Structure 1
Amino acid sequence: MAGTRLDITRIEAARRAIDPTFLDTPLYRCEALEPVLGCAVSVKLETANPVRSFKGRGTELVASQLAGGAAVCASAGNLGQALAWSGRGRGLDVTVVASRFAPAAKLDRIRALGATLELVDGDFDMARERTVAIARDRGIRLVEDSLDIETCEGAATIGLELVDAAQPFDTVLIALGGGALATGVGHVLKTRAPGVEVVCVQPLGAPAMTRSWRERRVVTTDSTDTIADGVAGRLPIQEVLDDLLLVADDAVLVREESIIAGMRLLLEHAGLVVEPSAALGIAAILEDRDRFAGRHVVTIVCGSNVDVDAYHRWVGTATRR
């Protein structure tokens, strides 16, 4: 697709650089969800891999270009795990900067994978500022999720797998945070399946990228307030927004109670334990059933790194619909 930073030829080549453990993830029709949601629903499951999220697709591309070097990234938890995993197998020295308030399970896993973990007393965007200083002072590679094209084109391989699927679909629902997943998958769909609607979903409590998409300019927020920590950014990146404006058909915001209800539905009807960001697609259907009625919708279940105590608290208090 002309105009974006992404390139379909590079995306196709990315399949050869990414460890097969992250590729060809399950895509299946989940009929048990359909009576509740009022539409045909297929799940693209990006959690059945060593880091339990789609992020490994992008970090595999990054790490493949850094033979024996060092890298630093900011992470809400999933990117850090993925870079640590990809770096460990290639002898890379990986440093991850994260918020002290990130889910403990994600932080523990980053350490277990051998990365150096530095914590800041703030949110993801504060962590991102710290990584800039580390990269400058140490002269190492700064990996910036969504800005670095490898993170977008790695995620875009999900789009290739979707368009290769035998069963046609009408809409793809994509969690929207920094934008790597949405711009990557969106680019492939607009190139190979332009009739498919690309809908991005973000929490009301972390609306910066959605507001930016709607106003066609970068809109920042002072804070975030959502359980979906994986998409809780305040400072959209201009280059990523430029790509998103070309590939997304819509961007919607959903309430916290809908995210929790989506997590419960995925547990009860699909047997999936997911983190809040992975339930955004189901939340979007719950909030606008009429829009999706009679359609075949794919939702990308993008991660399952969730704090167990918090998960039980959320799902245990969710309102049945």
Structure 2
Amino acid sequence: MPETRLDIARIRAARRLIHPVFLDTPLFRCEALDPDLGCAVSIKLETANPVRSFKGRGTEVIASLLAGQAAVCASAGNLGQALAWSGRGRGLDVTVVASRFAPAAKLDRIRALDATLELVDGDFDMARERAADIAARDGIRLVEDSLDIETCEGAGTIGLELADAAAPFGAVLIALGGGTPATGVGHVMKALAPGVEVICVQPLGAPAMTLSWRKRRVVTTDTTDTIADGVAGRRPIPAVLDDLLQVADDAVLVQEASILAGLRLLLERAGLVVEPSAALGIAAILEDRDRFADRHVVTIVCGSNVDIDTYRRWVGSPLP
């Protein structure tokens, strides 16, 4: 068992706190991808739920502990939606702080879920600072993705489902930003399926956590430059890095062109409209086909909250 902040017993218990709509998401072999990628690919589809991302698993755990109270979070869009959805169902007063440059579709959905939305003229890390100020001022719960163990253990329930998969696989590809799914799923894989290689994937234009993993210490960056806004953090959290060092076998960086190619492949071969962060696993295979040749790998498709006009530009053709 890896020595991290996470606990398998708590992850199993988290399943009982999470609304069934977020659990047992589809896992399927996508044979149409095989010729393009040179390996067998299975997709773990974390978009088939009311908030179109895996984040609801963690916010369900948090909201179950805070019913009737108030909470604030910083979000690139998906965490805010998830906390708003979970909070609304439990009478939780939710405030979300986001960058005004976040995708409009994500911001509109946060508002539609009855959360209070505050925008900052900066990036996610600036939003995180503002959310902390609000929590201190108002004496309410600050929900911090990846630092709050509930978010990681909620995501870890994906790992339980992968460990129970009927077909064996050799590697799991996980989008890496703050580290929530990487540490959660990675912990479970190392505990229950240690033969599975845990590979984290991050954009070259937002490399802070990958550089930190490689150097085994926190490395920050001044800016980010990637279309994958959901993983575009600049300041890794030390405790999360410590967990990641115990469970990740590798962390790789991919180029923007590969992310765009991954988006197109998921649309054309799998019929999936996803956000750039969800295409990182496919991008990693495209950039290193020899590494994955003739292997069976799982990629976690983690979110599908996109602005349609922007998405059309990304894929270079009208939606079907």
Shorter-chain TM-score tier: over 0.9
Residue 240 in 1 paired to residue 240 in 2?
A: yes
Give me the whole-angstrom Cα distance separating, in 2, the residues matched to 1:112 and 1:145.
21
Residue correspondence of structure 1 range 131-280 to structure 2 within 5 A = 131-280=131-280
Three-state SS of the structure 2 residue aligned to 1:96 is strand
CA contact (8 A) 2:258 2:286 kept: yes
Displacement of 1:269 in angstroms is 0.2
Distance (whole Å) between structure 2 residues aligned to residue 99 and residue 78 of structure 1: 13
The residue aligned with 2:60 is 60
Identity of aligned residues (%): 84
TM-score normalized by structure 1? 0.98
Distance 2:134 2:277 in 1: 28
Structure 2: which amino acid aligns with 1:73? C
Map of 2:129 onto structure 1: 129
Listed as ranges, the matches of 1:280-299 within 5 Å are 280-299=280-299
Q: Does 1:48 align with 2:48?
A: yes
Q: In 2, distance between residues paired with 1:267 and 1:38?
A: 18
Deviation at 1:67, TM superposition (A): 1.7
Amino acid corresponding to residue 273 of structure 2 in structure 1: V
Partner of 1:73: 73
CA RMSD of aligned residues (A): 0.9
What 5-or-longer segments of structure 1 have no aligned partner?
A: none
Cα deviation per residue 1:226-274 (whole Å; 9 max; x = unaligned)? 0000000000000000000000000000000000000000000000000
Match of 1:25 in 2: 25
Instruction: Indicate the SS of the match to 2:62.
Output: helix
What is the rounded CA distance, in whole Å, between the counterparts of 1:132 and 1:67 in structure 2? 20
Deviating 4+ runs (over 3 angstroms):
none
Aligned to 1:3: 3
Task: Measure how far apart 1:3 and its partner are.
Answer: 1.4
Preserved contact between residue 2 and residue 190 of structure 2 (Cα < 8 Å): no
Q: Deviations over 1:115-138 (max 9, x none)?
A: 000000000000000011000000
- In the other structure, the counterpart of 1:112 is 112
CA displacement, residues 184-226 of structure 1 (integer Å, 9 cap, x when unaligned):
0000000000000000000000000000000000000000000
Distance 1:219 1:114 in 2: 36
In 1, Cα distance between equivalents of 2:46 and 2:96: 22
Give yes or no for the alignment of 1:301 onto 2:301: yes
Q: For 1:119, what is the secondary structure of its paired residue?
A: strand
Alignment partner of 1:236: what SS?
coil
Aligned length: 318
Q: Deviations over 1:46-75 (max 9, x none)?
A: 000000000000000000000200000000
SS across alignment from 1:16: coil
How far apart, in 1, do the equivalents of 2:293 and 2:156 lie?
Answer: 27
Distance 2:171 2:132 in 1: 37
Secondary structure at the aligned position of 1:128 is classed as helix
For residues 117 and 136 of structure 1, what CA distance do their matches in structure 2 show?
A: 17
Partners of 1:314 and 1:236 in 2: how far apart?
Answer: 28
Deviation at 1:2, TM superposition (A): 3.8
User: Can you list the C-alpha shifts for 1:3-27, whole angstroms capped at 9, x where unaligned?
Assistant: 1000000000100000000000000
1:254-297 CA-to-partner distances (Å, cap 9, x unmatched) read: 00000000000000000000000000000000000000001000
**Which residue identity lines up with residue 198 of structure 2 in the other structure?**
V
Q: Which runs of 5+ in 2 are unaligned?
A: none
TM-score, normalised to structure 2's length?
0.99
Separation (CA, whole Å) in 1 of partners of 2:16 and 2:145: 21
